[in-house]
Amino acid sequence: MLYSFYAPILGPWRKPNREKAMKIHPEISEAMILAAFEESAFGMSDYGFCNACAAERGSTEPDAREYLCEECGEHEVYGSEIYLMELDI
């Protein structure tokens, strides 16, 4: 991917935390991420997903990072926008 080639020139601010690129939990599908993102953009609620156990978490802003997951106790909940960035679509 081109970004990694240019990263040292562009600097890390272009894509925050890109060096910590995460692997999306296999049970979190592209459709789920898009639905969560649309809900934040056009709906009435925000929710995200835990990247450790794939559980849904309410009250999770689209740009949330490392929120506590009430299902598994890990700080692995991310907002829909974060997942969207990882999908690179």
Per CB under 5 A, residues contacting Zn ion are 50, 52-53, 55, 69, 71-72
Closest contact distance (angstroms) between CB of 60 and Zn ion is 12
Question: To the nearest whole angstrom, how small is the minimum distance from the Cβ of residue 23 to Zn ion?
Answer: 15
Specify the residue, 54 or 62, whose C-beta has the smaller distance to Zn ion: 54
Pick from 53, 33, 36: nearest CA to 45: 36
Smallest distance from Zn ion to CB 8, Å: 34
Instruction: Pick between residue 40 and residue 60 the one whose CB is nearest to Zn ion.
Output: 60
- Pick between residue 37 and residue 78 the one whose CB is nearest to Zn ion: 78
